[in-house]
Structure 1
Amino acid sequence: MSETHATAPAFPPGRYGRRRDRRRRRFLPVLVAAVVIAASVTLSVSLYRQYGDPDYDAQIVGWHDVTDTRITVEFTVRVPPGGSAECALRARAYDGSTVGLRTVTVAASGDATTIRAAEAVDTTARASVGEVLHCQPPG
């Protein structure tokens, strides 16, 4: 048996082009990861500002006075002390379609942090449910 030693191949100069630098290939995945992380943080911050403000938390209490043209939505909103909120209300028919929308502004009295309100929403057909879509600082 004979022994063979592993050696790196020797290519003639200029025959097979230049060798690629491995450092350049490592740079691309790092760059892509940094761009993805930056985009994720930007998206998270914008969605939090739009939907996640804990100072404006709305809860549906119920709905009543349902007619073919109107429904009254009763809800509570948590706001900063003495603040106000702009809330989007929606009325939906039994099949799930939207039959009424209304935006209302409700204000706390004194230094209260919870507002209880009942607002009528005009509808184009008989509604079966009333909802609070979201509440946010008045703007």
Structure 2
Amino acid sequence: MAPVRDARPDGRYGRSADERADRKLKIIGATLGVALLGVVGWAGYSYVAGQDVSGRVIAFKVVSEHAVEVHLEVRKDAGDTGVCTVRSQAEDGAEVGRKDFTFDQRQKQVDEVVTLRTTRRATNAELVECTGAGD
């Protein structure tokens, strides 16, 4: 007696439905992957390209009950004016000081210590943002 086959002969009736579904899923996955990479790349580029002024807090020092000295490093084009917003918080998290500092020096990098006045004792100082004066 001849053995009974449970499956169709290979290559005789074309691809199975599972193979077609697998191929479609691979194509859809690859397309979505490329699209996701494009979106991430575009978002990263637009974020970096849109920042003509950047800054960071190098250090801060609480000098009194109502003042904090903040050492800022600001990078900008030599001909641009930058405005950086700095804020300070108390121990309970409440904002106790906020001020915009303008940097119009004709340099690409400016290191400056600024004084932020506070309504009560501060525990930190942080840079909120830096923008160009015309932004």
TM-score exceeds 0.5: yes
User: Which residue identity does 2:123 align to in structure 1?
Assistant: S
Aligned to 1:39: 36
Aligned to 2:24: 27
Cα shift readout 1:35-90 (whole Å, capped 9, x = no counterpart)? 34423432453255446878644232433564444434231212223323232312
Aligned to 2:79: 82
State the Cα distance separating 1:118 from its structure 2 match: 3.6
TM-score (norm 2): 0.61
Aligned length: 128
Residue 126 (structure 2) pairs with residue 126 (structure 1): no
CA change 1:25–1:64 in 2 (3 A) is: closer
Instruction: List aligned pairs for 1:46-57, cutoff 5 A.
Output: 46-47=43-44, 49-50=46-47, 56-57=53-54
Residue 134 (structure 2) pairs with residue 135 (structure 1): no
Q: SS at the partner of 1:129?
A: coil
Choose which of 99, 116, 130 in structure 1 pairs with 2:96: 99
CA RMSD of aligned residues (A): 3.7
State the Cα distance separating 1:91 from its structure 2 match: 0.8
TM-score (norm 1): 0.60
Alignment partners' CA distance in 1, 2:37 and 2:99: 33
Uncovered stretches (5+) of structure 1, i.e. residues with no partner:
11-18
CA contact (8 A) 2:62 2:123 kept: no
